[in-house]
Amino acid sequence: MKILVCLKQVPHQDARLDIDAAGTWIKEDNIKFEINSYDTYALEEALRIKDAGEAEVVVTSIGPDRVTQALRTALGMGADRAVHVKDAEIDGSDALGVAKVLAAVAKEESPDLVLMGLMSDDSNASAVGPMIAELMGVPNASSVMKVELADGKVTCERELEGGALEVVELQTPCVLAVQSGLNQVRYASLKGIMAAKKKPIDVKGAGDIGLSGQVGAGAAKTTIDKIYPPPKGEGAELIEGSTGEVVEKLVGKIKELGLL
């Protein structure tokens, strides 16, 4: 069993979001990055499958040098090796460009399972998983809350609205985009971090995976024109003052509602 986990490194959830000079993304210098939270659940699920039997867990990520840190963290948690796709030519890719890169890595690795998060914490697109499946010609499931392997098949529970779950059976290989909360994600142990230093990170460019000239800003079919703070509506009536004053006003509001 071989599992490929696709990780995205994203701005830390508490990072300051200042819009860049072009107005099309945030300023990424001087902020902290972390592994996309949804992807950590995918990695954890892969490591649990490995812990329960025989599996090789390969992690892959696209991005500049800083991505090495995310891959090292994943190796520290227990992944066996990493593929870092690093090439300025890929910058500015849209979701389909990213999916083409990851599908090319998957074709080279021939995994039984490709796992990733349902979406990323920065672009919130939920695009790449099913796209990789289409490019590979394999089935996929999104919003996965449970994974069971038996007899060369994968049985998943997909989260629907209102807490309902859809059970679906997939042939392998397949692509699973997992929902947050399907497991409790481990931390890298000190021993794991030390061991990770000896684990290989293979660095590849677009040409190495046969995609030179096919990805990047020039090939993108959608363009971000601008990003901006959401227009403010009327918003809340802000209550200010000392804690005592604030509480007094809140109690007044609750009394007005007839609830006190």
Partner 1 sequence: MGSILIVAEVQNGSIREASYELASFAQKLGREVHSLVIGSGVAGEAEAFAKKGGGTVHLVDAEAAANYNVDVYAAAIKAAVAATSPDAVLISNTPTGWDVAPRIAAAQDCGFVSDAFDVAEEGGSLVFKRRVFNGKLDAQITASGPVVATMQPGGTAPFEGTTDGSVSALEADLSGAKSAFVEVKVAEAKGVDLSKAEIIVSGGRGVGEPEKFPEVIQPLADALGGAMGASRPVVDAGWLPHEYQVGSSGQIVTPKLYIAAGISGAIQHLVGMKGSNFVIAINKDPDAPIFEVADVGVVADLFEVVPALTEAVSAAKG
Number of C-beta neighbours around residue 179 at 10 A = 19
State yes or no: residue 159 binds partner 1 (CB under 8 A): yes
Q: Is the peptide bond prior to 173 cis by the omega test (within 30 degrees of 0)?
A: yes
Q: Which of 92, 187, 103, 168 is nearest to 138 (CA)?
A: 103
Q: Which of 158, 148, 150 is nearest to 178 (CA)?
A: 158
Our CB check for partner 1 shows the closer of 198 and 221 to be 221
State which of residues 88, 194, 217, 254 lies at the interface with partner 1 (CB under 8 A).
254
CB-CB contact of 26 with 11 (8 Å)? yes
Q: Two tokens at 96?
A: 């389909």
State yes or no: residue 225 binds partner 1 (CB under 8 A): yes
What is the footprint of partner 1 within residues 49-108 (CB under 8 A)?
A: 94-96, 99
State which of residues 29, 184, 191, 197 lies at the interface with partner 1 (CB under 8 A).
184
Our CB check for partner 1 shows the closer of 61 and 140 to be 140
What pairs with residue 4 in β-bridges? 58, 114
Write each residue from 160 to 179 as x if it is in contact with partner 1 (CB under 8 A), else as -, in one continuous string. xxxxxxxxxxxx--x----x
Residue 33: CB minimum distance to partner 1, A: 14
3-state secondary structure of 211: coil
What is the footprint of partner 1 within residues 23-42 (CB under 8 A)?
A: 26
**Options 47-55, 193-201, 203-211, 242-250: segment touching partner 1 (CB under 8 A):** 242-250
What pairs with residue 158 in β-bridges? 144, 166
State yes or no: residue 248 binds partner 1 (CB under 8 A): yes
